[in-house]
Structure 1
């Protein structure tokens, strides 16, 4: 029997209204994108990490950085991110897809691994760790099957569903969804890269934790407990989307 391939697909693009080129910005010695990729590469039980990047010239630098970090790169339409995911899943022969976004440089490989395990053991169609949110903003992990991704791509017509990839599946009446909650409520933490203040927050962290790419969530939480002023840098942005 052929091995069922599990692939992390990271969406990344240069265009961002609030902070263009944000994923190429340096956090310590490496880019925000490199942080996200390196952490995704440590998720247990995966076969590949793929970056799904728009096929525009302005995104060529993102594609080069993703290749340099050792990922497969698939290019597709800028605004139809769902189509881009389908293309990436086809190119990597993925049977299970883990969706992570490139603006999550502190995504926790252990929590993403647990979310994948929950998907596999529960027999659900969809597993995530944000329904409802309880982890830091920036840990979002969504897992589904190729069958459901293909169905979404074939059937979803609303622009919102095309742009945000998973809502068509998450809200479908046929879906069995499981969620991985945090043992303690951590959703007050904003660890996502969307605004200049977020970048400032990550850079302040990197100064205190030079090996930030390998820092655990526990390491980061302990530091922030001792130095709450770091969290204050971007706390006022919390949170427009949750």
Structure 2
């Protein structure tokens, strides 16, 4: 397995423009996303995949200054961006992360990778039970290539996983189980609005230099509700 983690990031968010460079506890959001991956047990190559527009040059510059690989591809055809990036780097399996999720549960990500590998799945995810923005997904290059070839509807191109969801009979799909302590599907730990940003900043400030666990985030958000 040649494992790649592709982090999609662009400046042109509709609801919160430039959010990937907004500051959480003094550091850009994207820095928190990529930084958490130092805890990953599985070997993986990390690439930030952004668009080709001039507004995304700031993301490429951040990658260059922080020694992070950067791939620039189609702005709106995210499926093609992922496919071309994975093809360029020769990945056999790809973890998809987004640059607006600063609290990815890396322990669960390691479990996801192991589960995906041991089960021989085409597409494996950890959604539905974890807080929004904490889970992840992984798929084989073969499955991505099929999605790229056959997923021609607009929503297939805009969201990398939509063809898997629409045509589950074509793929062997795995779903990772989640412990009760980490189950909080109604909690938003993604950043898509100003309220999300304020919540994420408060959590990042509380954690300081220690990476916040999912259990801690759930407890903190519950106590402040």
Fold match (TM-score > 0.5): yes
CA distance in 2, matches of 1:147, 1:124: 11
SS at match of 1:107: coil
- Does the CA-based 8 Å contact 2:12-2:18 persist in structure 1? yes
Check if 1:135 corresponds to 2:133: no
| Counterpart selection for 1:166 from 161, 166, 171 | 161
Q: Match of 1:71?
A: 68
After TM superposition, the score normalised by the length of structure 1 is 0.87
Q: CA RMSD in A?
A: 1.5
SS at match of 1:178: strand
| Counterpart selection for 2:83 from 82, 86, 99 | 86
SS at match of 1:50: strand
Pairwise CA distance, 1:148: 0.9
Structure 1: tracts of 5 or more residues without a match? 233-242
- Does the CA-based 8 Å contact 2:24-2:205 persist in structure 1? no
- Does the CA-based 8 Å contact 1:135-1:181 persist in structure 2? no
Over 3 Å counting, the alpha-carbon distance change for 1:171 and 1:42 in structure 2 is farther
In the alignment of these two chains, the number of paired residues is: 222
Q: Match of 1:196?
A: 194
Q: Deviations over 1:193-241 (max 9, x none)?
A: 00011111111222322125x222233334334xx22xx4xxxxxxxxx
CA distance in 1, matches of 2:55, 2:206: 33
Q: Deviations over 1:91-124 (max 9, x none)?
A: 2110000011111001111111111111001111
Check if 1:180 corresponds to 2:192: no
SS at match of 1:87: helix
Structure 2: tracts of 5 or more residues without a match? none
Pairwise CA distance, 1:188: 1.9
Pairwise CA distance, 1:50: 0.6
Pairwise CA distance, 1:155: 1.6
- Does the CA-based 8 Å contact 2:6-2:47 persist in structure 1? yes
CA distance in 1, matches of 2:155, 2:38: 29
CA distance in 2, matches of 1:68, 1:118: 34
Q: Match of 2:111?
A: 114
Extract structure 1 runs of 4+ deviating beyond 4 A.
Answer: none
SS at match of 1:193: coil
